[in-house]
Structure 1
């Protein structure tokens, strides 16, 4: 292995595995998040398990973000260089970028969940994107337990400098209040 590659591996391994998403479950309300759609009664933070909800699998998570009767979306754009990952490391090693999100519905109302995670270049243009089809949750077909979605970006090529993480949804009955999808414990990690 060349000295340059060894330096890159050392740099990557020296980074502590950490979640780059700020305020992943609303402990600081919406600090760190940009609200991109705030429909209906707008976003709000609620304590677990919430009305007609289930406990979260990790008892250290105490709250979640609740959506309303029109589309609610929020996002974070993460600057990988500001987080300590050099351009050389990102371009040469192209470390895995792992994304995780959790969502749940209520036992009294259907809802829709959506997620879009994009790797962006210097100009914040999309290099690669993970955008699964929206998920419809109906109480008759689901026990409303928390579900996890994960994705790993690999071999994305040189030039990635930012990651955009956007998620949210709404309820499917247009009820006033916060009957839409719930999201919490989002994470984004750069791994060797």
Structure 2
């Protein structure tokens, strides 16, 4: 029977690159000093990114830390819950005046304008006359972004939002995004300049996007708030419509073109080599938090 120690290092390096990243850190890295050193080699993580289609986008494709790049790509997703009104107003806290309320409309529903992305089927509609907003607070630790990751790596935080106004209705679109510390102190803010939409406007969808780069250490929460304030009174809900909001954390990636391969878990790897995972590791690593 082949023993792990008999494998050529190049072959072992290749096998380790096929193991899921969490298994590499929590199990494989604890086997012995040789495996620890191999798991820490950038080649393993670069190969994992290539196999799984995680590649940097743009002309500058240099990656200073392939392991961190891999985990950030693996985690990357929209942190805004219910961004396109598919679940009504669930997950959103709304602030309105008196009996006003946000509404949900099917698309196309604003002067018949199609949304640029076909998978988006609904939008939120604000009351027109008074200032109306809705907001979400994102707890980064609950989403798997632990303190050391945010403070040492400071991955880009990308904010996106889409809005449109009725052709015959003037109003104002607002968006404010704040990076907050543990004590809710504001560390950095992005705010859309006063965006007044004139009556008889183009009634086209507009995208707002902003990237937080090299922000201060200590970011633990993200506060996302958007809405509108009407410029003219109407009895119907003719304020700004918003949808497809987004907050993502991590590097900009090229379109995924990774190979389709079955994952090689650490248990399968050890089993194939006639070894016992628990006997080799003796414990599970705490390098990556359980919710990561």
Same fold (TM over 0.5): yes
Contact 1:118 1:126 (8 Å CA) reproduced: yes
| Higher normalized helix content (fraction of residues) | 2
- Per mean C-alpha deviation after superposition, the further-off stretch among 67-76 and 35-44 is 35-44
Contact 2:72 2:249 (8 Å CA) reproduced: no
In structure 1, the residue matched to 2:259 is none
Within 1, Cα distance between the matches of 2:66 and 2:230? Answer: 49
In structure 2, the residue matched to 1:114 is 174
In structure 1, the residue matched to 2:224 is 165
In structure 1, the residue matched to 2:205 is 146
1:92–1:71 distance in 2 versus 1, CA, 3 Å? same
Within 2, Cα distance between the matches of 1:82 and 1:149? Answer: 26
Q: Normalising to structure 1: TM-score of the pair?
A: 0.90
Within 2, Cα distance between the matches of 1:114 and 1:162? Answer: 20
Within 2, Cα distance between the matches of 1:16 and 1:78? Answer: 15
Contact 1:40 1:70 (8 Å CA) reproduced: no
Q: Secondary structure at the match of 1:13?
A: helix
Greater gyration radius: 2
1:43–1:155 distance in 2 versus 1, CA, 3 Å? same
Within 1, Cα distance between the matches of 2:188 and 2:75? Answer: 25
In structure 2, the residue matched to 1:98 is 158
1:54–1:38 distance in 2 versus 1, CA, 3 Å? farther
How big is the alpha-carbon RMSD for the aligned residues of Structure 1 and Structure 2?
1.9
- Per mean C-alpha deviation after superposition, the further-off stretch among 75-84 and 29-38 is 29-38
Q: How many correspondences in the alignment?
A: 188
- Stretches of structure 1 lacking an aligned partner (at least 5 in a row): none
| Higher normalized strand content (fraction of residues) | 1
Within 1, Cα distance between the matches of 2:239 and 2:98? Answer: 11
